[in-house]
A = this chain, B = another copy of it.
């Protein structure tokens, strides 16, 4: 019989919403489900916020004390939806308590923290996963399938972008995402790591980077309350301002272990771009294009198509593609953010049920942090920076290249 697993979710903001929706919906999509997620406890920073989250997100209980919750015997899974600065502390405690862990991205504020987290989960033998949901987009999974099957040959060049404009206005508030002590970095950690994760997933480990990492807007209005509303935040040009000490943008070149080269560009100041995650991958036998803003589609070109009918095919993902059996019965009924999170949830519970680490594990998240560290260092030194390699031990739960 399908097992039910009790979840304690730490953090009841935007990400909490997405995760709670996925817990409720996953078995409806992927049935029989590998396990049934049960929304047991939600934790937020005050009792009031926690109680509000409980009602909204359909949990049994509310708490403002995550340590206490982690200590409970009836909790199977810890879900970390907090700002980056407490990921490590919570994850390490959860690992010690023998809980399976899903942690929002980026895994940590840098490689050092991530390594401690990895060591903790490895030692505890629990299942661990980082919530890089974009690789769960069926079109991205289809790209992976084409690549693994050799249908575009050896990869020569990878181009990844993540362009947004929600912080292009200098009067957007100084949320935690602009503060190094909480976020670790700016665009690099917030959105650049998504691209790094996609690069690792599709091409393999990045071995060296060269980057520019400007901060365009040096100060922003202080925020009362600290709520993080991203693109929905109000502008307040009259408020006192605090310093921004993270990058607004990263423009970079990449080298991969497999010999491919490429580039990564991420910004939150690119007017007109909303959630513009794109991939362009050139291989020796074809190419792949992806644009998350049109995420139902994958474009693929096969070089051996007949000369008079050669060009990018626009494939709308559906029943014939990865995860198709659980989603909608016709392509383009529509993949939204919800569906990416439902698939993520499915893969995570599959991993728990099977006992096999999912990808991206904390090892993958750690490697991504090492790339982020290298990007930061390169931005400071304006030199190529090698990415530290994972040890054999670290790699035990990393995704195969």
Contacts and interface: CB of A to CB of B under 8 A. Distances in A.
Interface string A311-322: 111111011110
A122 to B, nearest CB: 33
A309 B318 contact: no
Interface of A: 14, 17, 20-21, 24-25, 27-29, 31, 55-58, 142, 145-146, 151-152, 156-157, 159, 164-166, 168-169, 210, 212, 214, 216, 229-232, 249, 251-253, 255, 261-263, 265, 267, 269-276, 280, 282-287, 289, 292-297, 299-303, 305, 307-316, 318-321, 324-325, 328-340, 342, 382-384
Contacts of A156: 214, 216, 249, 269
A157 B251 contact: yes
B293 A272 contact: no
Nearest to A310: B315
B231 A318 contact: yes
B271 A286 contact: yes
Contacts of A273: 287
B157 A274 contact: no
A382 to B, nearest CB: 6
16 contacts: A17-B28, A24-B24, A25-B25, A157-B267, A159-B265, A168-B303, A252-B253, A267-B282, A271-B303, A272-B299, A297-B311, A311-B315, A333-B336, A334-B335, A338-B338, A382-B384
Given A313-B311, A319-B232, A320-B308, A27 B58 contact: yes
A141 to B, nearest CB: 11
Nearest to A216: B156
Contacts of A331: 231, 274-275
Contacts of A270: 157, 280, 282, 287
Contact of A231 (B210, B253, B329, B335): B329
Nearest to A382: B384
Given A166-B330, A294-B296, A338-B338, 19 more contacts: A24-B24, A25-B25, A157-B249, A165-B303, A210-B253, A230-B330, A232-B329, A270-B280, A271-B282, A271-B285, A272-B311, A272-B312, A308-B315, A308-B321, A309-B313, A311-B316, A312-B314, A336-B337, A336-B339
